[in-house]
Amino acid sequence: MSAAQIEFFFQTLRSANPTPVTELEYTSVFELLAAVLLSAQATDVGVNKATRRLFPVANTPQKIVDLGLEKLESYIQTIGLFRSKAKHLMQTCQILLDKHNSVVPRSREALEALPGVGRKTANVILNSAFGEATMAVDTHLFRLGNRTGLAAGKTPLAVELALLKRIPKEFLVDAHHWLILHGRYVCTARSPNCKACAVSSACNFADKLG
């Protein structure tokens, strides 16, 4: 994908959705962190159903700890891997209480030191909560980077670095939301809807289809 095509790609996505946001539901940085922790190998819809039950009861590190592991599991048991996620969330809450005065840290190093928080999760928090130009490469971004020709790479980190290098600065803060939504609803894994795609003219995959 050329520089001109990349410019067109993101201008088009921005025109269709000027202020993209995550589909996870949250009202605080901690709620976002908890929701992202629960979202690994789960849908945002499924996570939102669980957090709608959990957050009215416990939506701070102290309240989660007070809830206890068994009770926490009961609120999120509809989510895949709920036992390990509950354990990680409980451990994370204790660290936030002990080391960060219950405040979610703003540094990548501190975020990635939390149980269950890897680079992708840290990038989501840094971007969605703190407005940093990070790129959280999930399955959608990895697929789009390679399929479209926007940013090819054999690993999520390679795609992340390529995206950060190739996407114009004016689009960087919102780019990961646009790409996730595009991959979720248009450029899907098994049957990309190229005929309905507004950016297909800039896409290597659509071009190969003729």
138 is catalytic: yes
208 is catalytic: no
Catalytic residue among 87, 98, 138, 165: 138
Contacts by 12-21, CB closer than 8 A, 24 or more apart: 12/198, 12/199, 13/178, 13/182, 13/198, 13/199, 14/171, 14/174, 14/178, 16/198, 17/178, 17/181, 19/174, 20/174, 20/177, 20/178, 20/181, 21/128, 21/177
How many Å is the maximal CA-CA distance in the chain?
A: 59
Catalytic residue among 85, 87, 120, 207: 120
Contact of 202 with 187, CB cutoff 8 Å? no
Contact of 54 with 75, CB cutoff 8 Å? yes
Q: Which residues does the annotation mark as catalytic?
A: 120, 138
